[in-house]
Amino acid sequence: MDDIAIIGYAQSPSQRRAELTEPQFLFPVISEAIERANVERRDIGFTCAGSCDYLSGQTFAFVMNLEAVGAWPPISESHVEMDGAWALYEAWVRLQHGDIDVALAFGSGKSSPGDPSEIYPLQLDPYTLTPLGADPVSMAALQARAMLDKGTITEQEMAEIAVRSRTNAANNPYAQVRGSGDVDTLLREPYVTAPLRRHDLPPISDGASAVVLATADKARAVCERPVWIRGIDHRIEPHQPGMRDLTESISTRQAGRHAGIDHGPVEVAELSATFSHQEKLLREALGLGDEVQVNPSGGALAANPVMAVGLARIAEAARAISERGVSRALAHATSGQCLQQNLVCVLEGA
Amino acid sequence: MSRPAAIVGIGQTKHKKRRDDVSLPGLVREAAQRALDDAELGWTDIDAVVLGKAPDPFEGVMMPELSMADALGAVGKPIMRVHTAGSVGGSTALVATHLVQTGIHDRVLTVAYEKQAEGNAQWGLAGGRSGGMGAGGIFAPWMRSYMARAGAPEHIGWMVAVKDRRNAAKNPYAHLQMPNLTIDEVKDSPMLWDPIHWHESCPSSDGACAMVITTEDGAARSPHPPAWVLGTAMRSELGTFPGRDPVRPQAGVECAHLVYEAAGIRDPRQQVDIAELYVPFSWYEPMWLEGHDIAGPGEGWRMVESGETQIDGSFPVNPSGGVLSSNPIGASGMLRFAETALQVRGRAGEHQVPDATVGLAQAYGGAAQYFAMWVVGSTLDAVDQKR
Amino acid sequence: MTPAATEPDDDNSVKMMDYFMQLEYREPLCPVVRRYADQLLEGRLIGHQCPSCGLVYLPPRGYCPICVVETTDADETVLSDRGTVTNYTVVTPVQYYGQHETEPFVRASVTLDGGNATMNLQDLVDVPVDEVRVGMRVAAVWKPKGERSVADISNRSWGSAEGCIDGWRPTGEPDAPAEQFLGKATF
Ligand SMILES: [Zn+2]
């Protein structure tokens, strides 16, 4: 595959309830990403968006988001009903043709108008699981329980992950849940859905993220320090929770292998671990040792703008390289409940 | 990198008002299995799956690629879900094609579907409110504008309806089977959205379509002739702004010129043997003939009137019966793409256009603002043969 | 819930079951739509005029998607509540759950005086369906102040004014020349 680089990225601050509409808060994010990329809007040869009708509560919600792009004169454009990370994947595929040199991917979501515990059961098998009303927290609790029973995590470790996320988020202007708090205090809190406590759960967030990609020649021409996509892959697992070993993430491992994570040491990993225990599980699936800095941004426990959060991980991993001098980082995005589908993207500087 | 891609497997379900004999996964699997059978490939031969459909609220299933991963044989593989409004079936096929052309995968299964009877699309389109008019109410004023602009007489719409329904009678998968529909019956059917009569509007269908797209090597091993992708294009524009021309949307004009250029077509009317255009309401046939510069201004309806777009005419449009005869929304675009491939492979059965070697497929969506197109040929130089 | 069928293909077997669900979404109006709604309650139609290209957006969106620039209160403009029917269709209602319309009704595009702002899918009142024509002059029929509602306005339903305007009534003025509009689908 041809090397493609990230040359610009931007995010909106994650908010519990955004005052603006989705296209309105996307608008400055896309503009900022393009500006940082040092390209003109008309240079963009392909645009791909990620968003979700059910989150917005409106059919064809993505159509309005097109207004934030500036689709006049007409543009070459596509949309996935998936996290923006998959929009980036489609843009990366499109750039492989070599006939265009710049592409834009973005993701956006406004979770505040709806109730996640009512909406997400619709993501499950409509015949056997949706009628049970299994919500993401209950599903994640099953997964955490399985890990606890297997002895691959403790509630103490889960709280430690949450504390580290919040501490890291203190320096992230886009994060929503910041601050310190100590493990013992958190562990004295009651369960929300046993064995999960409030700190094990992600916040409900509204937000957007955008990334600008370029082919190698273009990237070198416009960007001082391009961040190279060395590999990107995504895989899915069976849907029925009973068909899976919830204490492992086989599809993450597969995606990581295909993305080539073992071609060199990883310094930073930005993981879409929306529940604390999933960070441990993903670390193991990706073979990340203690030397790897995980979620220096605070991760999804600090800000969870659904449909933008995975792409935000890619933006954060790129930031670690271009702004903090990290040489190799990986980003992870997920879809479905209990990490059913996973994407891994390996990034490198120079 | 860009390498040739070929369609070696095509499958579709019987399209019906209500496919209550199958579940959602059962519906997509029916189409996918037929595509695999056509290609003489098994589920394990597939590297990746690209799924497309219109809004999730139409069936009440959010991100259905998750619950259908097993039925689509996608476990352990990449699967993506595309959604670009009505053009989605076309865009989905294009994403799958790009995965092969760029060398990322060798055999990609692409599937699109809608199971409208599982939910209520009219309700979905109206956002659950009264006074909803469906897509027809949005498009009807634009058709009136076209008629005024092109000086088109009202019987053109009736002729398109009769042609497509008679074509559909030759297509066993088509939803509406009306071999004897007459102009008078169309004219006398209830007016839904002036100028659109009942018989000039698409039905609401359950159905799915699937294709297997592969490389030159894959095509060489195919048991049946492949269809080669000679050009692809996508274009989108804003749906509403003062001064927009939705009758001849700029995105549609540009998309057509891009796909002609990619395929090396200078004169589509001469160099394309068969076109499958997304015509959910009769008037969109002449509108797209002009909107894609196949016909000049005011010439589109004359092509219809003179019979050029009939199955035995010089520029057959929608020999499958088109969206007017089967409309599983999410799959409707892919059906256009698949039908052109069937034609250039010579495998369209009773609705085969003799000696078709170059086909043009188009799908559109939103407020006539999303366009996806491809040109397929029986050989990689099929267009050159027509110079 | 396995059907008690004796044969798998028994016609009495359960093939479909209804599963009803209800999702509630609550989204406060964003500031520009809030302002639009407040002005509607006062009997005024407001738009934003793009400072760059001059196009008028009704209702305001807070940006011009053509120029990709933000618009603010400073770009606000009050629009006329009189205009011309520039396009229309007659709709025979499809009966779906929640549909209350039973008789054919008109949905018209009304281009407001003094600019290019057009309100689409508008109701016409006090005019038989078969007398509607392009070029017809109309004026907004505002509901009495106390009966106006903006409850149906949402961030996504740009253009809706139905809770405050009953529809558009012919003014009786001579028609504007239809040729000016026929064949053009302004939006
Ligand atoms: Zn402007």
Neighbour subunits, B (≥3 Cβ pairs < 8 A): A, C
| Contact status, residue B317 vs residue B309, Cβ threshold 8 Å | yes
Which of B142, B179, B121 shows the shortest CA–CA distance to B327? Answer: B121
Higher per-residue confidence, C6 vs B203: B203
* Residues of A in Cβ contact (< 8 Å) with B60: 122, 126
Q: How confident is the model at residue A59 (pLDDT cuts 50, 70, 90)?
A: confident
The pLDDT of residue C1: 29
Neighbour subunits, C (≥3 Cβ pairs < 8 A): A, B
Which of C142, C96, A58 shows the shortest CA–CA distance to B137? Answer: C96
Which of B324, B288, B302, B318 shows the shortest CA–CA distance to B186? Answer: B324
| DSSP class of A13 | P
Same domain for A234 and A87: no
The interface predicted TM-score (ipTM) is: 0.97
For the stretch C20-23, contacts whose Cβ atoms lie closer than 8 Å and that sit 24 or more positions apart, written own/partner, are C21/A122, C21/B60, C23/A54, C23/A57, C23/A114, C23/A115, C23/A118, C23/A119
A117 touches chain B (CB under 8 A): no
For residues A319-329, average pLDDT: 97
Is the C-alpha dihedral spanning B90, B95, B98, B103 positive or negative?
negative
Same domain for A310 and A190: yes
Determine, for residues A72 and B237 on separate chains, whether the beta-carbon distance falls below 8 Å: yes
Q: Where in the sequence is the domain holding A320, given as residue range(s)?
A: 116-202+230-348
The pLDDT of residue C8: 47
Neighbouring residues of C10: CB distance < 8 A, sequence distance ≥ 6: none
Same domain for A188 and A42: no
A156 touches chain B (CB under 8 A): no
pLDDT digits (tens, 9 = 90+) for B10-54: 999 999 999 989 999 999 999 999 999 999 999 999 999 999 999
The Cα–Cα gap between B5 and A96 comes to: 15
Q: Tell me the CATH number at A70.
A: 3.40.47.10
Neighbour subunits, A (≥3 Cβ pairs < 8 A): B, C
Please say if the pLDDT value at position C5 is more than 50. no
The pLDDT of residue C2: 33
pLDDT digits (tens, 9 = 90+) for A132-186: 998 999 999 999 999 999 999 999 999 999 999 999 999 999 999 998 789 999 9
The Cα–Cα gap between A193 and B104 comes to: 42
Nearest chain B residue to C178, by CA:
B148
For residues B71-87, average pLDDT: 97
Nearest to C89 among B120, B144, B245 (CB): B144
- Percent of chain C's residues with pLDDT above 70: 86
B130 touches chain C (CB under 8 A): yes
Number of domains chain A contains: 2
* Residues of A in Cβ contact (< 8 Å) with C156: 21, 56, 58, 61, 64
Same domain for A282 and A186: yes
Q: Which CATH superfamily hosts domain B6-119+204-220?
A: Thiolase/Chalcone synthase (3.40.47.10)
Neighbouring residues of A7: CB distance < 8 A, sequence distance ≥ 6: A36, A37, A38, A39, A102, A212, A213, A214, A218, A219, A222, A223, A226, A227
B237 touches chain A (CB under 8 A): yes
For residues C110-131, average pLDDT: 91
Please say if the pLDDT value at position C24 is more than 70. yes
Same domain for A93 and A61: yes
C15 touches chain A (CB under 8 A): no
Residues 23-42 (B) with a CB less than 8 A from some CB of A: 23-24
Determine, for residues B82 and A81 on separate chains, whether the beta-carbon distance falls below 8 Å: yes
Determine, for residues C19 and A126 on separate chains, whether the beta-carbon distance falls below 8 Å: yes
Give the global pTM.
0.96
What per-residue string of b and e applies to A188-203 under the rule 16 or more CB within 10 Å gives b? eeeeebebbbebbbbb
Q: Three-state SS for C110?
A: strand
Q: If you measure from the C-alpha of residue A25 to the centroid of ligand 1, how many angstroms do you get, rounded to a whole number?
A: 18
Q: If you measure from the C-alpha of residue C159 to the centroid of ligand 1, how many angstroms do you get, rounded to a whole number?
A: 18
- Choose the mutation target among C23, C24, C25 for the interface with A, i.e. most A CBs under 10 Å: C25
B126 touches chain C (CB under 8 A): yes
Domain coordinates in residue numbering, chain B? 6-119+204-220
Q: How confident is the model at residue B386 (pLDDT cuts 50, 70, 90)?
A: confident
Residues 41-100 (B) with a CB less than 8 A from some CB of A: 55-63, 65-70, 74-85, 91, 95, 98-99
CA distances from A294 to A125, A252, A286, B227, C90 (A): 32, 16, 12, 48, 60
Please say if the pLDDT value at position B287 is more than 80. yes
The Cα–Cα gap between B111 and B172 comes to: 20
What per-residue string of b and e applies to A310-348 under the rule 16 or more CB within 10 Å gives b? bbbbbbbbbbbbbeeebebbbbbbbbbbbbbbbbbbbbb
Same domain for A306 and A258: yes
Same domain for A97 and A134: no
Same domain for A211 and A69: yes
Q: If you measure from the C-alpha of residue B276 to the centroid of ligand 1, how many angstroms do you get, rounded to a whole number?
A: 37
Determine, for residues B236 and A66 on separate chains, whether the beta-carbon distance falls below 8 Å: yes
Q: What is the residue whose two structure tokens read 């273009």?
A: A218
Determine, for residues B145 and C184 on separate chains, whether the beta-carbon distance falls below 8 Å: yes
Same domain for A253 and A191: yes
Same domain for A214 and A279: no
Is the C-alpha dihedral spanning A141, A143, A144, A150 positive or negative?
positive
pLDDT digits (tens, 9 = 90+) for B198-243: 999 999 999 999 999 999 999 999 999 999 999 999 999 999 888 8
